[in-house]
Structure 1
């Protein structure tokens, strides 16, 4: 009987030890998984839901609910001007859509700068910044950079005319890096093929509009295309004909007149000038 009791006790102690080892292994595994989960949470990038396009959009397309959807976007790389709610995209309801001002690719965020206000057309007025005005400049093949201008480009404006005081022809830079908002009647910045324009429309302040209007009425305006990454600005360019041909203006200085001295005497009632040496 004692043998049986001892055997049962031994088996019980063994099972208890085995249970302790299993519990320890389970706790170790659980702790390791818990630490791994904490590490994964630390590496998770925070995101927010924003609206993106689900199909290609081009200039002038009306944006409807079927053309956009919500996706999660990393917060640290969130563009400025995104739309997060239906009320932001369609504040007046889906029947008053926004219109695309530029091309938008699939899964590209819908940004405020790329669409109009609700119910507005994709015209020049929609792309003007606050306080700015649109001014049209007459151009031809030579003055319009051979038709390579597109909305969104920046141009330097040169005036060529005759100065009223000297009557000399000059060419002068009057506006630097002024943005284009339309070429002829086309405000789409995604134009590919060059076209010979008759007018270009620039975005300018009221002061700049006055300068351009005066310059256009008194001489010829010529445009020079500014590079996309060019930040240099020089508004002191002026070339006249003498500078162009390398002619130095000559200044004539009159030689001083020789000093003469004389005395006046009267002879037979007449005044006679007699030269004498000058003492001083």
Structure 2
């Protein structure tokens, strides 16, 4: 009997030791998992909800609620102009569509600059900023940068005409920069900035202030306008530029010598006498 009791006691102690070992191993694994989860949470990037498009969209297509969906986006990498609420995209009381201005690929973030206002089409008016106006400039293959202009490009506008000569009296041919860094919003009747094929335009439409509209209208009526394409990464502002004919021909116009005279009357005769001009 004592033998059986001792055997049972030994087995019990062995099982208890095994149970403690297994429990310790389980608790250690659980603690390791818990520590790993805490570390992952500490390194997790905060996210917010933004809207992306469900499919590829091209210029002129209508964007509806069926074309978008919300996703989680890293909070520190959200592009400017994204939408975070459906009510921002399709406000109450407005038409439930927008028109695409710039091509978008599937899962690309929906941004304000890539679509029109609710219910608007993709016309030129949808691209104008507040207080700005559209003005058309006549161009040809030479003045229009050989057809390499696209909506969204920036150009410097030069005027060529007759101006007062700085070298004496009269007028001379002159070319001057009148508007630097003007943005194009349409080329002919095309406002698609994703247009890649060069076209020989007859008109380009620029975004300018009302005062600049008056300046361009006057310049176009009194001379010829030419455009110079500004580089996409060029953020410099052009200084005042004015060139007359003498700068590239090397010719100079001499000032006429000033002649001073006095007139005296002798009866019915008027006598003109040359004198030294006063300083």
Q: Name the TM-score, length of structure 1 as normaliser.
A: 0.84
Q: Is the 8 A contact 2:149 2:229 kept in 1?
A: yes
Deviation (angstroms), 1:158: 0.4
Task: Give the 3-state SS of the residue equivalent to 1:82 in structure 2.
Answer: coil
CA offsets 1:190-231 (integer angstroms, 9 cap, x no match): 112222222111011122222212211111111111111112
CA distance in 1, matches of 2:9, 2:238: 100
Deviation (angstroms), 1:249: 4.6
CA offsets 1:68-124 (integer angstroms, 9 cap, x no match): 222222222111121223222222479531111111111111111111111111111
Match of residue 213 from structure 2:
209
Q: Are 1:108 and 2:112 matched, yes or no?
A: no
Deviation (angstroms), 1:184: 1.4
Larger Rg: 1
Residue number among 195, 198, 212 corresponding to 1:194 in the alignment: 198
Comparing 45-54 with 20-29, greater Cα deviation is found at 45-54
Q: Name the TM-score, length of structure 2 as normaliser.
A: 0.85
Deviation (angstroms), 1:166: 2.9
Task: Tell me how many residue pairs correspond in the alignment.
Answer: 255
Give the CA RMSD over aligned residues. Answer: 2.1
Q: Is the 8 A contact 2:94 2:119 kept in 1?
A: no
Deviation (angstroms), 1:253: 6.9
Task: Give the 3-state SS of the residue equivalent to 1:159 in structure 2.
Answer: strand
Match of residue 268 from structure 1:
none
Deviation (angstroms), 1:131: 1.4
CA offsets 1:47-74 (integer angstroms, 9 cap, x no match): 2332212222111111122222222222
Gaps of 5+ in 2: 259-279
CA distance in 2, matches of 1:138, 1:182: 12
